Amino acid sequence: MKNQTGQRMKKIILFVLLAVTAGIFSTKYYDTDSLAFTPDSLIVLAPKDYYPEETEIVNSLVSRYHYRKFKLNDSLSAEIFDRYIESLDHNRSYFLASDINDFEKYKNQLDDFLMNGELNAAYNIFKVYRDRANDRFDYIEKIIKEPLDFTLNEYYEVDRKNAQWPDTEEEANEIWRKRVKNDALNLKLAGKNPDSTVITLSRRYENYRKAINQYDNEDVYQLFMNSYTQSIDPHTNYFSPLASENFKINMSLSLEGIGAQLQQDDDYIKIVEIIPGGPAYKSNKLNRNDKIIGVAQDDGGEMVDVIGWRVTDVVQLIRGPKGTTVRLQILPADAGINAIPKEIKLVRDKVKLEEQAAKKEILNFEQDNINYRIGVISIPTFYSDFEAQQKGDKDYRSTTRDVKKIIEELKADKVDGIIIDLRNNGGGALNEAIDLTGLFIKDGPVVQVRNSDGSVQVGADSDPDIVYDGSLAVLVNRFSASASEIFSGAIQDYERGVIIGEQTYGKGTVQNLIDLNRVMQGSDDKLGQLKVTIAKYYRINGGSTQSLGVIPDILLPSSVDADEFGENSEKSALPWDEIKPTKYNVTGNVKDFLSLLNSRHKERVETSNEFNYLLEDIRESMEERNQNQISLNEEVRKKEMEKEEEEKFQRENERRKIKGIKLLNKDEEIKESSAPEDLYLDESAKVLADLIALSIG
């Protein structure tokens, strides 16, 4: 059993959640149907009396333990300022230009304020934001019932993050008039009648108003402190006491629901993590960065519009008893501005360890007149049942133990090669990544960890046994992160197998969670928690996995824009760099075959109708996502939607014609696409078959 990670790794915390972590917002719950706000009832916002001391502790911990050596100076102050403003008004539609000009006096002072625990500036900015938001919602209340003319050739600017701030109230109102009109047109095209549209939008914008007016002193403090910590590094976060509780709940996976972590993203609720083994994962219908815009209970429950809701209120709707049904209305992550919402149905359940476990399948196919049997081991996360291990259970579950058993089964089934599928695997237990690598190499280093003090430790496999020495491939995508990158990077460095897929996420940092009450002992106040980046991962060749990720030997087309999704899309992400390589002996010779493998792969792709369809879809999707203006003319929008539906219909019939399947008529609905179930896995198996043939030859 490969369960030893080397003496030099003992000082490293064996279990680090390496999954890409999302910011968690406050967990207070409000009755969104009965709570009303008037200017006189708004929460009085001011920093609590112990916040200066808590801020001093955060400053001390971050400056002392953070991997990045930074100075809290005017330059960082400007970054914090910009991030705080952006966190409040990402789309530049609340604040006026005069507000921003007035706030500029704080731009180079926030560093001094933070060092002295002075927080009034943050609260002053937030109060202006709240006032401006209420001004906008007052205007919307006046116009929302007015008839709308969808024959005019007007356009709504979807993304205003680089736009000018509105100079006047009238300019701001015009932005919101077009936004309301766009929302109304979306509902009309979805089949809503005028009365229903008014009701839906009235509720939606009232929810916007309530969500902003419900922010209290703790929320504002968390928002500002995160603007500070995330200016240093995107994975360094401050959690308020209530947010800390929610963080613990999410990490324990103990609540019954759909098995997804959610985050507020402007006015939408975005999926930031699909939990392996949960209902969302098993459905294969939800993806990272999908946006949830509606939630309904059971089969006949009314779909509740949740645009503008706080994330915690949406979580309350989605969570529920095991075995009950929840329906979600989503906007797919890869859809453009004309996206048509999809409805999916999920049955709530607990996330079980056995459902997160590695699974196998065997692909049988013929290539170049040779029959191949390729074993596939899918690993959704790097897991280990530490509780069972600590109790002395000799049969405790772990990634490495389960994969070892599967390999023995596949060897008994006489497979010609094995693919390790790490797509969407966001990480998990570090020691499992090390031990799993050990199943395929004799022994040696797997990962280097450089700490904030500059010291470097090596995580190594010290067991000389090799469980599998046959042909190997590792399949990754943009959402393979952390532990997945450590494993695939090591396999690539040892030339033990061929890496296939998309450039990985690039999350190569280690975080530690600190309870501030333990630091400030004796305090009667309930403080929050601080998650600090304390170390960085490096491959055995010296290169970091941070920001760059792992570049596959065989690149497959990606529908994900690397500039939008991935570590390097974060402004404050730590950079890629390299340290001295550690000593290791290359065990394979994959590089000798990469040129031929790539040329054969390209030949297949160029002559594959399915890959051509895929490339065309990716190109069209990219064009749509880059489109920033959307027509508010109903006929124009209808024609765009009809064009998309027609292209989808023609594509399906092209597939059917090639496969000899009955063609669809114009009035027939596409109930099930005839597209291949997993084009990338099929191509990976063919690449591995090429490697097997070349190795034998």
* pLDDT tens column, 66-100: 999 999 999 999 999 999 999 999 999 999 999 99
Q: Is 493 a catalytic residue?
A: yes
Which amino acid does the sequence have at 603? E
- Supply the pLDDT for residue 5: 41
Q: Is 561 a catalytic residue?
A: no
Q: Which two tokens stand for residue 587?
A: 């065990």
CA separation for the pair 223, 237 (Å, rounded): 10
CA separation for the pair 94, 682 (Å, rounded): 49
Selected residue with higher pLDDT from 421 and 625: 421
CA separation for the pair 48, 54 (Å, rounded): 10
Q: Is the dihedral of CA 524, 529, 533, 535 positive or negative?
A: positive
> What's the average model confidence in pLDDT over 362-387?
94
Confidence bin at 287 (pLDDT 50/70/90)? confident
* CATH of the domain spanning 254-347, picked from 2.60.15.10, 3.30.230.10, 2.30.42.10, 3.30.70.2190: 2.30.42.10
Q: Which entry of 507, 531, 536, 686 is annotated as an active-site residue?
A: 507
H/E run at residue 514: strand 509-515
Q: Which entry of 231, 398, 482, 631 is annotated as an active-site residue?
A: 482
H/E run at residue 475: strand 471-476
**Whether pLDDT at 23 is above 80:** no
| pLDDT tens-place string over residues 483-522 | 999 999 999 999 999 999 999 999 999 999 999 998 887 7
Q: Are 549 and 558 in contact (CB under 8 A)?
A: no
Question: Do β-strands 554-555 and 629-631 pair in parallel, antiparallel, or remain unpaired?
Answer: unpaired
Fold (CATH) for 7-11+371-376+388-590: 2-enoyl-CoA Hydratase; Chain A, domain 1 (3.90.226)
- Supply the pLDDT for residue 15: 29
Nearest Cα neighbor of 136 from 172, 86, 98 is: 172
Spell out the alpha helix ranges (H) of 68-168: 74-88, 97-103, 110-116, 120-143
3-state secondary structure string, 626-638? HCCEEECCHHHHH
Q: If you average pLDDT over every residue of the chain, what do you get?
A: 88
For the chain, the domains span: 7-11+371-376+388-590, 39-234, 254-347, 606-683+691-696
Tokens 């705080």 belong to: 84
Q: Which two tokens stand for residue 645?
A: 């539906």
Confidence bin at 354 (pLDDT 50/70/90)? low
**Whether pLDDT at 351 is above 90:** no
> What's the average model confidence in pLDDT over 681-697?
94
**Whether pLDDT at 119 is above 90:** yes
Q: Are 43 and 216 in contact (CB under 8 A)?
A: yes
Spell out the alpha helix ranges (H) of 660-678: none
| pLDDT tens-place string over residues 535-561 | 999 999 999 999 999 999 999 999 888
CA separation for the pair 165, 172 (Å, rounded): 8
Q: Are 527 and 541 in contact (CB under 8 A)?
A: no
Q: Is 507 a catalytic residue?
A: yes
CA separation for the pair 688, 281 (Å, rounded): 27
Nearest Cα neighbor of 486 from 498, 500, 504, 469 is: 504
- Domains 7-11+371-376+388-590 and 254-347 alike in fold: no
Residue 140, CA distances (Å) to 32, 171, 320, 477, 632 in order: 19, 14, 34, 43, 17
Q: Which entry of 89, 219, 435, 493 is annotated as an active-site residue?
A: 493
Provide the terminal-to-terminal Cα distance of the chain, rounded to the nearest Å: 33
Q: Which two tokens stand for residue 174?
A: 């015009």
- Burial class, 138, CB count within 10 angstroms (exposed 0-12 / middle 13-18 / buried 19+): exposed
Q: Which two tokens stand for residue 480?
A: 């393979």
Confidence bin at 245 (pLDDT 50/70/90)? low
Residue 573 has a CB neighbour count (10 Å cut-off) of: 19
| pLDDT tens-place string over residues 161-175 | 999 999 999 999 999
- Supply the pLDDT for residue 51: 95
- Supply the pLDDT for residue 645: 85
Q: pTM for the full model?
A: 0.87
